[in-house]
Structure 1
């Protein structure tokens, strides 16, 4: 077999829509017999019906064979794992042979064999006859099986080659996972229908196309029956939107079969450079979604697809880009049903050609024109009836070339109702929207103002300036982060030209692994890989939301709150829905304890409401107003929180008050204050209210985040030596207070920090620390953190604190954190990123009670507590590498460097850079409650 052919397939039937039919069908999923060969030259005698496969293994279909003990997965982001020499492929070409025997029901005649997805080059035999082959891994193909079916027992044989000329078209950022990973069906359905359902001025317009003989369409919910192909009618219909996903059940009847589908009336248009849905501006609050499951790879169960959509809806996501291939059709059904705007992306990426200057790129090679057009046709024909799909995307990161025009021209002719998307060509010569990846905030603002840098071609430049702009990828959600979300969203909301964007990406692609918990690139011994770059999602592999997703929910909130004296103004931020489905609850808390709670009455359009009167009293008081679902929705239960806002009602007094200060006394080698003590030589605190401690001492280092590493800050910090600071004590002075003068600096540089600690004791027995920090020398780059670290006995089990929570927060993240009283164990304070890194920082803490002692800020501090040191955290590469030690490591910080999104995109915005500067940290230590 010529695996180096440019031809996309042979023997296949014309592509058609994915439809639900009453025609007989046999589900051929299940246990198949399987054999893996190291090359493509294995004998083909296995296709004979009488072939003895008893020595073969069992393999489930759908699945990927590397996830069942046959070979191993491999991950690359950009690089091809084989030489770039199209259309040639390696001689070492893993080849999987499949066999499945099935019984044909009595009376069965005719039928089609349908494969919904097989990676990457697939040949099919039925009862020893070769039906043909197909490429295009994430797209369906069908063969006419009728002439070769037999009464009773039939044998289906399939050979799947991992590498082929088509593999050059499938260089998406994901695991390389061959196999039959979607459904296999024998069906007698042959129907193909294309329903057109537009919406304008309160009315829907309906028509349809169909292949074959006499066909009629009926929509009982609209009183439509017997509609003929090509006929057009106008009906009183409710529109479909992602916020109000109104669907109408329809049936298309022919003499051979009846198919059912769901119709949504909606019109997507572009006017004056603004993207519109049903005549209203559309703001996409989206995510990029790969198909992924930690045990099954891209063979995602239906329940998991539904979980994805429900999670998206519950976190205020309204759009999804199917990166970088069409998903299983069931996922699109769920988007129709539950409401998500979709950009459906073609199964095309040639990213690795960028590493050789785009030479021989298939996108510009006429030999590949038929293959690229074939992929576009199969996507559009399969998915054309989904109201959720608002754009077709030509592919991803495939450079530029003549074949894009071939794809775009065909798609516009076949379906002029949907705009075309493609990011890889800055000229937008073949698209209807201007799309970019990872543009900075400044560039996004310039584009919003129509002030972007011009193209060289004035005609193309004018055409592009008339287009809506979207970020098909931004805010790379890898590890701790992303930062800068709120600033992006403010720009999207401010400029009508900006249609929003899609976060990269939805899920960490960590494969379940017995030793590592979750594996990433290189964990299977791949010679070429891109490490943990595949761990870049808003949810962890088990679909637990990360702090990034919680922040995104806050940023994407469809309701906002504006507070004034005694009132709150509730603003409706939905594009299409009102607020009638929401209830509003106002809560007043003092020091995190609820003192008043009541429901607010608001009109469906939003407006002002009086907030509850709060009783007086001591302590910091906050008003929180929450918008929750008033009743169950298809995507969330009653009481689910959609949005919230918070305002300070009364600040707390200074927390350093404590009356007159008795002196500290020298006692042998210690300086003692009651049952607290300092080492007389170093001035270091060694006992705190009877608890053995070490520290606190100045700390400038943090375990680098992915953004620190990929953005270059870690390299600068390590080159400077911030991970190996030296501490010199210059003076320990005792009078009414203890003054400890130190200099903290890395070796091999004249940069340093003067750190002067002043300890005193309040009249009520609290220890008061004032730390003055003064940098020496020219610190050119941001520093990781500015604060102190100390260690505590392992018996410290948890903490209750007052301040933002419950989750982590950094200068440009933590948008989901609200001020309150929170409790967590030391273990619960950790964010279990698949690749361990800086995490768990609670910012803006007023006080924190560790049981044995309480620490308070004047006014606030940042807190991190772990059962491993920063050095151990920085050295870890997988979750199991972090083993609890004998100490609890507590960080009490003044400031942190921002997070940014520098794994892809900009680093932290300038206002979130932590520059070395003079600063003072004031802390109060009180005896604890335990």
Structure 2
């Protein structure tokens, strides 16, 4: 049997797993805590020699020998994935194995990479134990040092260490050879939803450590029953049985020593226990860290000093909740992969730090490391910045689901070593991090004897944390009940959130929910409201943080991002990897802004706006709202008429209080047509590790009870109406409007010689599918043909009366081969001032029982002159918003460009909608254009692209701008949902087959004569 197909061999000559830590020669250097100051350290990242083979057996004779000629080998960067450096094939799949399922066997054609490099070992390594550490290699590999076989390892996202002390020469050049196998028996446990990428993709490090020092240690920093005193226990394993003593010094965050204990060894162990009175607690909101220094001495000489951050916190079960420091916390979390759009799974500490800072700035408090242990940098950063972690084992067997025997190897005892080892290696590496709240056994691998054993071992190794595994559907072993994409409403689903609330006897989390694919997710607020309402629902983790697009360029140098199927990979789940809250270039998506708002730390409600009294609820579990400054403003449309700031009083976590804002309501005098809003911004008073003072973490807005009707205007002037064959022409002093009497629609509006509109309103029920429509696209396109619209004109009537032109057009609007339709009536009034009053009404007709359950939209679309790219509007903004994703938006006057309104999703799709609009203007750089206004409200969007353009394009580089602006005014836009993987559009947010009426006014104007908002404030009466 080939060793890479032997699932009962977990490794050869690999050292026992241990915590990841650094060791220093002095206390001063330990406090600096950097690789440079350790006893001996060498990073072996860089350019290695590389040979790519179709199978291991094709390896040249003696390739591992020191004298092997590498001159014909290629260069490759380590760390790196070889597929992104020109070797092998890129392949993305969510589910499938890329070879026949016959565990533990893998294909004969097994892409293999041979890596070689030389390195010099400095004198600082002399007398030390020399360890070669690989932080991540996919999928399995053999190691040779100076031509001598040093070991074998697998489990791609786990660290491996090899003792090479007797194989290397200090003060001389040495060489290392690594042969990496893309496929191994371990691959059956590594079928995660991500790109299949191979090679040495994490750091390679050479360590020199004292032979009489600490090999490993475990820190337990708990709290007593009253959550008052810290209970510190340290168990250290030595490399020697010779007599040494270890001094344990604990310092607070200010560097003050709070305790010192010295203990001698008993064989290879040293233990210490101590009580820290009135210990500061660690939590994601207040990540207070002590520093522990462990100084090892022998015969009065310091051998080494090891630093370790320590956070005191307690985790325990309490009936149907779990508690952190006595509180049933709520996870406001993200699933996060190690990912980089250029380098694949190669991520630097700086990138991870940016992720965590951004998460904190967006109110995220938790990460699930899907679906493997992350790069070790993450854990220190989560300790320091404050982030709860579910640390997940590198284990997923998703492809077995399609065999009909999902637990094929999960319930096979011969695979126990492979399963348990992956988990124990993770726990050993990460055990000293206070940020870790739960150990997760893996993902989507069914349930069986091997998971039962993993649970037992996890509890034996670490009783201070909880065990998570979503695949334990009956919660037989796991401490928490975990589900994915559990629905809010759907009578056809066997299990809903309400069932969990009624039946669950253990705490519940959603380890994945609200699939953030493309334009979405929807329903974030609905889930969060449930979490707040029921203690047993302890939050969840959005799927997921990043879009996994691969940075690419067209021949013209235009950047775009490729996804599954773009590399000829088959089968592929295509763009299912483009499902993040961050776009590949780290641009936050509209969905991330929505999530920030939904999980914000303050919930605000109005008590008495005339007196300035509001009610605040703290959504923190530990922190006080006193850290915020409340900045307030009263807006009169686009003008701030009052504003100021105040410091919040102390409002402890999970409590509430009324607050009075010192504005002068009595001085607010309504102007005709203007609207008045109170805007609130909760901003940090002081700088924090993750954001500067003034950073906004929460908002609120309230419409003030002040309003005065706009001035009524009766249009005056002369209007000349003429008919030329099929064209009806209405002309005023400085404008004209043309109608096509066959199609019944406006074909041109001209003001002062400029054609502002070249195609008038026409009913549409279609928008380009969004990624979350993927499960219903076939239904929309192949059953209801919603993308193939038809408008049949049944009658056109017009009359001229008192210098007004009234046009009435009756149509039937439907789609190809559909027996249902809307009976639609367009009513136009062309005024002598150039205003055009438009009303579109629709009535469901025909075989109504055959109509779809919902429509992408109900609205009208128009074409405007391409120069009219300056946009101002009064409505929900500034970002796009939809019925089930509108919490982050606030009413106001916003300015943008047509291009700026466009959300550049990796996969082009419908975007840029704005709800509750009262008016919108589009002008050119000379101020010429039009205003669309209403006495009700409408949705609007403006784009350089037709819906068909967005639908047909597979990538952003496929889009070609039209020579006009597409302008949409909608009665209703359908909701977003997360039906690509999860909840569909909730019934109350759908655009349905229902009667509708859409009324608005189009006014060609020049903003040098009158402002857009004053145009909108007028109430035109005819």
Structures share fold, TM-score greater than 0.5:
yes
Query: How far apart, in 2, do the equivalents of 1:818 and 1:848 lie?
Result: 16
Query: How far apart, in 1, do the equivalents of 2:375 and 2:247 lie?
Result: 28
Kindly indicate whether the alpha-carbon contact (under 8 Å) linking 1:48 and 1:127 is maintained by their aligned counterparts in 2.
yes
Q: Kindly indicate whether residue 251 of structure 2 is the aligned counterpart of residue 220 of structure 1.
A: yes
Aligned to 1:250: 292
Q: Deviations over 1:61-92 (max 9, x none)?
A: 11111111112321010111111111111111
Query: How far apart, in 2, do the equivalents of 1:182 and 1:610 lie?
Result: 53
Normalization by structure 2: what TM-score? 0.88
One of 837, 856, 860 as aligned partner of 2:909: 837
Alignment of 1:200-599 (within 5 A): 200=224, 201-212=227-238, 214=244, 215-221=246-252, 222-228=257-263, 229-235=270-276, 236-255=278-297, 256-358=303-405, 361-442=408-489, 443=495, 445-447=497-499, 449=501, 451-452=502-503, 465-515=504-554, 517-565=560-608, 566=611, 567-599=613-645
Instruction: Say if 1:360 and 1:270 are closer, same or farther in 2 by CA, change over 3 A.
Output: closer
SS at match of 2:307: strand
Q: Deviations over 1:486-514 (max 9, x none)?
A: 00000011011111100000000001112
Q: Deviations over 1:153-177 (max 9, x none)?
A: 1001101000011100000000001
Query: How far apart, in 2, do the equivalents of 1:301 and 1:657 lie?
Result: 63
Q: Deviations over 1:192-242 (max 9, x none)?
A: 110010124222111111101543321133521234343321113200000
Alignment of 1:867-878 (within 5 A): 867-878=944-955
Report the CA distance between 1:898 and its aligned residue: 1.1
Q: Kindly indicate whether residue 968 of structure 2 is the aligned counterpart of residue 903 of structure 1.
A: no
Q: Deviations over 1:565-585 (max 9, x none)?
A: 221222211000001211101
Aligned to 1:813: 885
Q: Deviations over 1:747-770 (max 9, x none)?
A: 322211122111114575421111
How many matched pairs?
A: 916
Q: Kindly indicate whether residue 918 of structure 2 is the aligned counterpart of residue 846 of structure 1.
A: yes
Tell me which structure has the larger Cα radius of gyration. 2
SS at match of 1:93: coil
Query: How far apart, in 2, do the equivalents of 1:359 and 1:683 lie?
Result: 60
Aligned to 1:198: 222
SS at match of 1:226: strand
Query: How far apart, in 2, do the equivalents of 1:713 and 1:815 lie?
Result: 27
Q: Kindly indicate whether residue 673 of structure 2 is the aligned counterpart of residue 612 of structure 1.
A: no
Aligned to 2:21: 19
Instruction: Say if 1:780 and 1:869 are closer, same or farther in 2 by CA, change over 3 A.
Output: closer
One of 600, 603, 616 as aligned partner of 2:649: 603
Q: Deviations over 1:328-353 (max 9, x none)?
A: 11111110000000000000000000
Normalization by structure 1: what TM-score? 0.96
Aligned to 2:780: 716
Query: How far apart, in 1, do the equivalents of 2:157 and 2:778 lie?
Result: 38
SS at match of 2:969: strand
Aligned to 1:686: 747
SS at match of 1:486: helix
Instruction: Say if 1:718 and 1:897 are closer, same or farther in 2 by CA, change over 3 A.
Output: farther
Report the CA distance between 1:670 and its aligned residue: 2.2
Query: How far apart, in 1, do the equivalents of 2:898 and 2:707 lie?
Result: 27
Kindly indicate whether the alpha-carbon contact (under 8 Å) linking 1:448 and 1:497 is maintained by their aligned counterparts in 2.
no
Q: Which stretch of the first structure deviates more once superposed, 771-780 or 525-534?
A: 771-780
Kindly indicate whether the alpha-carbon contact (under 8 Å) linking 1:99 and 1:156 is maintained by their aligned counterparts in 2.
yes
Instruction: Say if 1:196 and 1:18 are closer, same or farther in 2 by CA, change over 3 A.
Output: same
SS at match of 2:272: coil
Aligned to 2:771: 706
Kindly indicate whether the alpha-carbon contact (under 8 Å) linking 1:658 and 1:762 is maintained by their aligned counterparts in 2.
no
One of 993, 998, 1003 as aligned partner of 1:916: 993
One of 932, 937, 941 as aligned partner of 1:864: 941
Instruction: Say if 1:307 and 1:821 are closer, same or farther in 2 by CA, change over 3 A.
Output: same
Query: How far apart, in 2, do the equivalents of 1:447 and 1:720 lie?
Result: 34
Instruction: Say if 1:786 and 1:148 are closer, same or farther in 2 by CA, change over 3 A.
Output: same
Kindly indicate whether the alpha-carbon contact (under 8 Å) linking 2:251 and 2:258 is maintained by their aligned counterparts in 1.
yes
Kindly indicate whether the alpha-carbon contact (under 8 Å) linking 1:664 and 1:760 is maintained by their aligned counterparts in 2.
no
Q: Deviations over 1:88-128 (max 9, x none)?
A: 11111110001110111126233111111100001100001
Query: How far apart, in 2, do the equivalents of 1:588 and 1:132 lie?
Result: 69
Instruction: Say if 1:130 and 1:313 are closer, same or farther in 2 by CA, change over 3 A.
Output: same
Kindly indicate whether the alpha-carbon contact (under 8 Å) linking 1:274 and 1:281 is maintained by their aligned counterparts in 2.
yes
Instruction: Say if 1:181 and 1:254 are closer, same or farther in 2 by CA, change over 3 A.
Output: same
One of 117, 123, 139 as aligned partner of 1:120: 139
Aligned to 2:816: 747
Kindly indicate whether the alpha-carbon contact (under 8 Å) linking 1:867 and 1:889 is maintained by their aligned counterparts in 2.
yes
Q: Which runs of 5 or more structure 2 residues have no equivalent in the other structure?
A: 25-38, 264-269, 298-302, 490-494, 652-656, 924-928, 1008-1022
Q: Deviations over 1:389-416 (max 9, x none)?
A: 0000000001111001121111101100
Alignment of 1:633-712 (within 5 A): 633-650=688-705, 657-659=712-714, 665-668=721-724, 669-674=727-732, 675-681=735-741, 682-690=743-751, 691=755, 692-710=757-775, 712=776
Q: How large is the RMSD of aligned CA atoms in angstroms?
A: 1.7
One of 832, 838, 853 as aligned partner of 1:769: 838
Query: How far apart, in 2, do the equivalents of 1:287 and 1:359 lie?
Result: 27
Aligned to 1:168: 188
Kindly indicate whether the alpha-carbon contact (under 8 Å) linking 1:844 and 1:861 is maintained by their aligned counterparts in 2.
yes
SS at match of 2:144: strand
Aligned to 2:96: 79
Query: How far apart, in 1, do the equivalents of 2:102 and 2:712 lie?
Result: 74
Report the CA distance between 1:533 and its aligned residue: 0.4
One of 857, 861, 865 as aligned partner of 1:789: 861
Instruction: Say if 1:717 and 1:612 are closer, same or farther in 2 by CA, change over 3 A.
Output: farther
Q: Which stretch of the first structure deviates more once superposed, 289-298 or 919-928?
A: 919-928
Q: Deviations over 1:362-394 (max 9, x none)?
A: 211222111111111110000000000000000
Kindly indicate whether the alpha-carbon contact (under 8 Å) linking 2:80 and 2:346 is maintained by their aligned counterparts in 1.
yes
Report the CA distance between 1:857 and its aligned residue: 2.0
SS at match of 1:423: coil
Kindly indicate whether the alpha-carbon contact (under 8 Å) linking 1:246 and 1:264 is maintained by their aligned counterparts in 2.
yes
Query: How far apart, in 2, do the equivalents of 1:72 and 1:537 lie?
Result: 24
SS at match of 1:331: helix
SS at match of 1:441: coil
Aligned to 2:149: 130
Query: How far apart, in 2, do the equivalents of 1:505 and 1:83 lie?
Result: 29
Aligned to 2:654: none
Q: Kindly indicate whether residue 41 of structure 2 is the aligned counterpart of residue 32 of structure 1.
A: no
Instruction: Say if 1:398 and 1:750 are closer, same or farther in 2 by CA, change over 3 A.
Output: same
Aligned to 1:101: 118
Report the CA distance between 1:651 and its aligned residue: 6.3
Query: How far apart, in 1, do the equivalents of 2:720 and 2:858 lie?
Result: 28
Q: Which stretch of the first structure deviates more once superposed, 154-163 or 40-49?
A: 40-49
Kindly indicate whether the alpha-carbon contact (under 8 Å) linking 2:419 and 2:454 is maintained by their aligned counterparts in 1.
yes
Query: How far apart, in 2, do the equivalents of 1:163 and 1:750 lie?
Result: 54
Kindly indicate whether the alpha-carbon contact (under 8 Å) linking 2:261 and 2:272 is maintained by their aligned counterparts in 1.
no
